[in-house]
Amino acid sequence: MDSIKSLVTGADPLNDFPAGPPDGETELTGMLTGIRTFSDTGNAKVVNLDGARKRRRAIAAGLLAMTAAAVTAGIVVAGNLRLPEATPAGPAVSGSPSSPASTQEVPTPASSTAAGPSPAQTLPVPTLPGPPPVVPAAPQATAFTSGDGKVSFKLPAGWTAVEEPAGTPSYPSSVVRVYNETGETMSTLQLSQGGGLGGACSGPPAPFSVLDRAAVPSATQPWAQGRSVEFGYAIIDETARGGKIHTVVGLLDAGSLPKGDTACMFYAAVSTSMGMLSFADAVQVSVGGTGPGFDSVAEARAYMQTAEYQNLKAMITSLELNN
């Protein structure tokens, strides 16, 4: 400011009188008697007005530039001194300190933050395996032998055989009834030294057939000589006239079965050297029977696939007779 004041003071034309203050009368006389030219040039101490104006403008522009620079510097300093903003997760990676606007935040993967154990967390108590469950053994087939030792066969698992008193001292006989797991009678063995078979048809013949046959290994022994003893599953079909299919599962004498494809009656019994033998679920099959029966041949054939039928077949074919 001192330099500017000096320039302004030096530019005052009233101070351009080195000899001292002018004499009023002399100056008035000169003004009246002659022409005096005033100029802002020619005197080294007098500053040209145009140059002064240019210089003042330059000085003012410089001051404005300095002020703007100072303001900018203050903003920059204030920007560098501001507190960092809170970020949701993870550290922030910044660029050069001279360029605060280039600050870049790098998100941290959620997997990088390890969660600490909960204060109330408890470890599970391991459970020791208990003993394996006890699986009951599957029932096995057993061998049955009559009290007199004359009859024996293999009894299916879970089935029971009960020997019943029968006959007389003059005509002894053996009766063994076989029951399944539920107590239902499956078959009856009868061996009698007396008596015979008889009967008459109670209606017209109906279709007759044998659906299954199997050999009896012991039939080669003396008790069956001269007889065609076999296991058989035979039926009489009365479905065509509104009846049932009557069946028998047991020992058959192939030689005494009906010769044609119709029958009104037949027996599941064999004449042996030890007496009349029957080992079946029925002794006689005839038309007009009152048993449960089947409604179709297909049902009768399907019965052969059941476990019950297979047990009957295995038991009857295992028959042994001791003379």
User: What are the tens digits of pLDDT across the range 58-86?
Assistant: 777 766 767 666 656 555 445 555 545 55
Token pair for 178:
């076989």
Task: Identify the CA nearest to 190 among candidates 261, 275, 117.
Answer: 275
Kindly report the number of other CB atoms within 10 A of residue 124's CB atom.
5
Provide the pLDDT for residue 99.
45
Task: Specify the pairing of strand 151-155 against strand 320-321.
Answer: antiparallel
Percent of all residues in the chain with a pLDDT value above 90, rounded to a whole number:
42
Task: Quick: pLDDT tens for 102-156.
Answer: 445 545 544 445 555 555 667 777 777 777 777 666 667 899 999 989 999 999 9
Given a contact cutoff of 8 angstroms between Cβ atoms, the answer to whether 287 and 204 are in contact is: yes
Residue with tokens 């047991």: 250
Instruction: Kindly tell me the burial class for residue 98, based on how many C-beta atoms sit within 10 Å of its own C-beta (0-12, 13-18, 19 or more).
Output: exposed
CB atoms within 10 A of CB 206: 21
Helical axes 49-81 vs 2-10, angle rounded to 10°: 170
Q: What one-letter code names the amino acid at 147?
A: G
pLDDT at 102: 47
Global pTM? 0.57
154: phi then psi, degrees, rounded to nearest 5:
-90, 125
Look at residue 127 in the predicted model and tell me its pLDDT. 77
Q: What angle do CA 215, 218, 220 make, to 5 degrees?
A: 85
Give the pLDDT confidence score for residue 119 in this predicted structure. Answer: 58
Q: What is the 3-state secondary structure (H, E, C) of the chain?
A: CHHHHHHHHHCCHHHCCCCCCCCHHHHHHHHHHCCCCCCCCCCCCCCCHHHHHHHHHHHHHHHHHHHHHHHHHHHHHHHHHCCCCCCCCCCEECCCCCCHHHCEECCCCHHHCCCCCCCCCCCCCCCCCCCCCCCCCCCCCEEEECCCCCEEEEECCCCEEEEECCECCCCEEEEEEEECCCCCEEEEEEEECCCCCCCCCCCCCEEEEEEEEECCHHHHCHHHCCCCEEEEEEEEECHHHCCCEEEEEEEEEHHHCCCCCEECEEECCEEECCEEEEEECCCEEECCCCCCCECCHHHHHHHCCCHHHHHHHHHHHCCEECC
Regions of the chain with pLDDT less than 50: 17, 38, 76-77, 83, 89-103, 106, 109-112
Percentage of residues of the chain with pLDDT beyond 70: 63
Residue 131 structure tokens = 């003993």
